[in-house]
Structure 1
């Protein structure tokens, strides 16, 4: 009996130790993509035109790609790994239900369901911006800013020959703002190629130094600073049969932006959103695709602050004269059905929530499958909405962040989702009956680790708006003790930190800090994404003012907690978060003892025009706003310890921001700390990010721990 009791005690002790593994810095930074990777299913994707999906499975014979039919779950083997080079099934992209393509050592090949593998489209190894028209066995790409096209006969067309440092063809333009993510638009039937042409001759040149070679080499980039001359963008249409290019009559002499480029299903027209330079006025224009002539303006949108188009047109299935338009005209991003004469037929979705994605359609039911924030700004759920009457049906049931993909018919969806306490579930949803079948419930990779206690927090802004945050408690929490605090923030446009998804903390670095005895707090203030136009536009013309007011609500909340040491508070953020961190250290210098600012904007006149002028107007139109948040004029206020970090190759927030800050600190006799990551751009990625996060953590340890000095 004594022996058994001793054994049981030892076993419990062993289990207790096993459950107390610490999250190392390497775990915190790289773990979720390496040793702490969440269990997943491989190559799960719908087969075109079938209610069946693929899955890569392991068998005693090696890998196999199987087809799973729904709803009967019948399984067929499509491919085995022995059919492919290296005895591995490559990542496949389905062209139709009989054929897929893949990239093998830079060469594109097709594989048919009968196992036959053939060479496919010949694309040079140095090609960039590759855009496939897989249905028609065609592709466009760029080399040295010129556009090329491979037609379905295998012939290569050089569409442009004027590509140069100043003339850019076939690439994404306008600094990837306004939802622009590519520069090549092959028509629906494959008969034409539309493309962006950007003339940036007048745009300011900016030096980027490559320090990896000896001697270092300068490479200039074109950078359109706020308030300066901008590039000119036009849209060309190439006909492979005639080998002629026509440019649409978009009035390129005007200072404007071209976005939401969309082909009509019949290839007769191209629709473009023409946005004014000040971003307050949008026209949706229709152009003749063969002649380039302007046909008409379908409608216009105006806003005193800004209009921000973010999506292409989505044509109603089976219709060439009806489309869905995304708009924030009622204060929230919703869907509107128009005809091609510009008449509003109906508003499809409405309410104090937003649509984040259209993921599919059920043409027979006249439904769009959409992802929305209807249940909570912190969650994403799949809904079906009838595009004629707006009737909504919720298809996902569990709270969390859902990422669905939809079959061609729209009858089934594969939902890959998580929430604070669920690492991953993958379900098949019948969108007509609502039936849900589980494919995977992933094990928790953090089981046995010292994860932090996380508490969801809701505070109120001055105008009564809910502000969502998370409070992360230190491990081995003792309510009688006082703990140092680190606030992590971004609080800028197009970003949201607080979501109901795994891990509960939102970032394993927070769990690592909790192990080290820190309270961590993070919150989305006004200006952040996915809360509607009023919430986002609250920062307009006065960056960091409203945001700091909201973050101070978080500070006041923290100071009211009996276990928080208000004299040992730190703050960290990157990019806009770096701007916010520096703003706090210089504009409210008595709040935080320590700040770490990564890639910070210091003077908005030195940031790019498209983004800056949307939120700040131009320097000419809003000089007081720019001066009010120019941090170079506030260096003399610094009281605490500030570490600034920058990548030497940063083409987004150019290096001069922080270099100018250093210069002003010398003038003011203020000591701040500085660290540069050679040959890193706007973010430090890969294994070197472990070094970065250790650098940041060490800085807080140095000045926030009880034994730290001033």
Structure 2
């Protein structure tokens, strides 16, 4: 065999490699927090398809809007910043090219302060098309941006043709118009819904007079003052919501005539394309029965129920119906009724015409239809829920095919029907960010950007993804491990288990850094193994996986997390005597659950914003997963941590924001009170000016607090 290197050369190569590694920078905690979304966020380019331009996409380059022909790469300048500034006298003060949105082939709109302009790239003229009150919040625009709705305090206003219209005039601050309801659950993320042509607007009226006030405190005044917030706890009275429609021409409002219990949920509000009807998903308070109803948009009268959906446990329908292009009677509906969220085709008679996507994967997003409306493109999961891939569903044959094949996460996917091309970003464990153009068969035509590794000058650890079996013996759980930067398999290392484990969250994906926060890399540099398990109950794995924890939060999840601990203990390089656990919110609940129900497993825990008693958490979330305390007394008692303080044996730090309006501070204070009563020692820290989480520069202080506490407890 031919010798490739002499012994001397080989030694020099090894020494050189070690020297390069030694020269790499060490990540500081402040850098990992403050620089996560700047210094260490992979480079990306904001691109958009130019409508009906048959393959041109646009981006801002050197303060000009540049169009690039996707197939050949040829470029042309559409308009420069200087031309935009000259296009209207009100724009002379622009410092950079504005963030824009195409509304036609040669027209885009943009916001400048509280004004909206439309720019014609041919005439190089910009027209003021909308404005709103400086005091307005929750701004919502019509499709052409010519009208805007907004709220001032608890009332709703419109601006139409430069004139402000007050839609509601309610003196009682406990009755709120035009704002989000149901605490952002059920896919409700706003409080107003413009009709397609902007002739009318639907809006919520939220009567909270019967909802309990939670007494948060305002420390910025002298003396401190009360700052109560409406907070309906599980099993208590909830808000009463109605939907109303304001007609711009008649300047009158009508109430949509929904019937049923006052505390039901009005979800998935959608206008018909012809503006004649409005559709509402009426969900019962138990959240296991939904009726999709049609109402007359002119008088609010009930017309019919298209269909109903029921589930023995709960429904998770968070996406409104979506009409097919150029259709008034066919629409897309997303539901988990076959076990995974998929896309179905219905007509407005309520007849199911076809199931368009199917399989043991979850539809994450709708991308669009091709030019002939024969194929629907969606973004869906793959690879045990870790990946996001593009799928094509044929409406006629009902054949579903995956058109991307690189394992990782595709995002920001935009489809151009005029050219049958896609713009997308792609990331994986080994790819920081790549943005490409690919065709309808998934073939890459052009690479727009290949981002460099933002950690190339830093000594960081590779991330390992793996799986373990869940406690039910059949489900597969995804895991993530970050080992110390200079890992030596012959040494033993302490472990920090980072946990969430609750509904609606997936911590681990096959993307850059695998969803891990950068403080974890800092902790790995300091000699820790960081380990995470997405236990049963977390999202994007199908209905059975998510519903495994129904009525017994903190039971199955604890079993799964302990199997992760068993795996860790089986590894020769894990110091089983030096294990820590940390989590926030549901993760704080899990941290405290494991520190009590599985005492002696972890030497130290840090629980942030923890739920200590589900009876104290809000109605909409809690009752979906736990029913009410009246109907599920045993489940609430088993999950309650206030009665488990005597089980705590090791060091526990509880952290809570003093003005937390999500998991209210009462959770932690009652736990502390029970610790005192039972003679149990526990540590506590509060952030007076922060709500449910600690953000901004103070987050550096938070993570210093967390890691210092763990360091002290695990120090040899």
Quickly name the TM-score band, shorter chain normalised. over 0.9
Are the structure 2 counterparts of residues 579 and 409 from structure 1 closer, same or farther at C-alpha, using a change threshold of 3 Å? Answer: farther
CA distance in 1: counterparts of 2:266 and 2:340, whole angstroms: 23
Contact 2:241–2:263 (8 Å) recurs in 1 = no
Counterpart Cα distance in 2 of 1:650 and 1:659: 12
Instruction: Say which SS state the counterpart of residue 196 (structure 1) adopts.
Output: strand
Can you give the 5+ residue segments of structure 1 that lack an aligned partner in the other structure?
none
Aligned to 2:604: 594
1:312-371 Cα shifts (integer Å, max 9, x gaps): 101112211111111111111011111111111111111111101102221414211100
CA distance in structure 2 between the partners assigned to 1:132 and 1:650 by the alignment = 31
Find the counterpart in structure 1 of residue 210 from structure 2: 202
1:585 aligns with 2:595: yes
**Is residue 33 from structure 1 mapped to residue 30 from structure 2 by the alignment?**
no
Structure 2 counterpart of 1:484, from 490, 494, 497: 494
| Higher mean C-alpha displacement, 484-493 vs 28-37 | 28-37
C-alpha displacement of 1:465:
0.7
Partner of residue 282, structure 1: 290
1:94 deviation in Å?
A: 2.5
Q: Which of residues 23, 45, 48 in structure 2 aligns to 1:45?
A: 48
Answer yes or no: is 1:655 the counterpart of 2:655: no
Deviates most, 153-162 or 632-641: 153-162
Is 1:327 aligned to 2:330, yes or no?
Answer: no
The 3-state SS of whatever aligns with 1:471 is strand
Matches of 2:139 and 2:16 in 1, distance apart? 57
- Describe the SS at the equivalent of 2:705: helix
Instruction: Please point out which of 414, 433, 454 is paired with 2:423.
Output: 414
Please list the CA deviations of residues 75-125 of structure 1 after superposition, one character each: whole Å capped at 9, or x if unmatched: 221222334434411212223233323233343333321332333312111
Asked if 1:217 is matched to 2:225, the reply is: yes
Cross-structure match for 2:633? 623
Partner of 1:239: 247
Matches of 1:300 and 1:429 in 2, distance apart?
39
Counterpart position of 1:130: 139
Pairing 1:379–2:379 present: no
Q: Determine helix, strand or coil for the equivalent of 1:373.
A: strand
Residue aligning to 2:148: 139
Residue deviations 1:546-582, cap 9 Å, x none? Answer: 0001111101000111111111110000000000001
1:632-677 Cα distance to aligned partner (Å, 9 max, x none): 1011111110011111111100111111111111111111111111
Query: Deviation at 1:242?
Result: 0.7
3-state SS of the aligned residue for 1:570? Answer: strand
Alignment pair present for 1:450 and 2:453: no
Choose which of 481, 494, 497 in structure 1 pairs with 2:507. Answer: 497
1:639 equivalent to 2:641? Answer no
Pick closer, same or farther for the CA change 1:425–1:277 going to 2, 3 Å: same
CA shift, 1:694, in A, is: 1.1
Partner secondary structure for residue 649 of structure 1: coil
Q: Which residue of 1 aligns with 2:66?
A: 66
Check if 1:512 corresponds to 2:522: yes
Please say if residues 500 and 588 of structure 2, whose CA atoms lie closer than 8 Å, have aligned partners that are also in contact. Answer: yes
Alignment of 1:431 with 2:440, yes or no, is yes
State which drifts further: 658-667 or 159-168. Answer: 159-168
Cα deviation, residue 12, structure 1: 4.3
Alignment pair present for 1:405 and 2:414: yes
The offset of 1:293, in angstroms, is 0.6
- Which residue of the other structure, out of 24, 31, 44, is the alignment partner of 2:28? 24
Distance (Å, rounded) in 1 between the aligned partners of 2:386 and 2:79: 40
SS of 2:238's partner is coil
Give secondary structure in 2 for the equivalent of 1:684. Answer: coil
Gaps of 5+ in 2: 1-8, 86-92
| 2:232 match: secondary structure | coil
Cα distance in structure 2, aligned partners of 1:90 and 1:346: 43
TM-score, scaled to structure 2: 0.94
Q: Distance in 1 between matches of 2:428 and 2:221?
A: 46
1:150 is displaced (CA, Å) by: 2.1
Q: TM-score normalized by structure 1?
A: 0.94
Please, which moves more after superposition, 271-280 or 10-19?
10-19
Q: Secondary structure at the match of 1:360?
A: strand
Q: Which moves more between the two structures, 445-454 or 515-524?
A: 445-454
Q: In 2 relative to 1, CA 471–433 (structure 1 residues): closer, same or farther, beyond 3 Å?
A: closer
Moved more, 664-673 or 428-437: 428-437
* TM-aligned CA deviation for residue 44 of structure 1: 1.3
Task: After TM superposition, list the pairs within 5 Å mapping 1:535-546 onto structure 2.
Answer: 535-546=545-556
Partner of 1:695: 705
Pairwise CA distance, 1:136: 5.7
**SS of the residue 2:130 aligns to:** coil
User: Aligned with 2:242: secondary structure?
Assistant: strand
CA contact (8 A) 2:495 2:530 kept: yes
Distance of aligned partners of 1:86 and 1:268 in 2 relative to their CA distance in 1, 3 Å threshold: closer
1:315 aligns with 2:318: no
Does the 8 Å contact 2:269/2:279 carry over to 1?
A: yes
How far is the alpha carbon of 1:137 from its aligned partner? Answer: 1.2
Superposed, 1:173-184 pairs within 5 Å as 173-184=181-192
Report the CA distance shift for 1:154/1:303 in structure 2 as closer, same or farther (over 3 A).
same
- Determine the C-alpha separation between the residues in 2 that align with 1:82 and 1:408: 32
Aligned mates of 1:376, 1:431 — CA distance in 2: 25
- Name the SS of the counterpart of 1:181 in structure 2: coil
Q: Secondary structure at the match of 1:573?
A: strand
Match of 2:258 in 1: 250
Q: For the residues of structure 2 that align with 1:544 and 1:48, how far apart are their CA atoms?
A: 49
Show the counterpart of 2:105: 97
Deviation at 1:586? 1.5
Tell me which residue corresponds to 2:404: 396
CA distance in 1, matches of 2:462, 2:196: 51
Q: State the alpha-carbon separation in 1 of the partners of residues 444 and 324 from structure 2.
A: 26
Instruction: Decide which moves more: 611-620 or 424-433.
Output: 424-433
Tell me how far apart the structure 2 counterparts of residues 45 and 364 of structure 1 sit (CA, whole Å): 22
Q: Is the 8 A contact 2:384 2:541 kept in 1?
A: no
The answer for the alignment partner of 1:672 in structure 2 is 682
- Which secondary structure does the structure 2 equivalent of 1:583 belong to? helix
8 Å contact 1:453–1:474 — kept in the other structure?
A: no
Contact 1:157 1:240 in 2 (8 A): no
| Runs of 4+ with deviation above 6 angstroms | 8-11
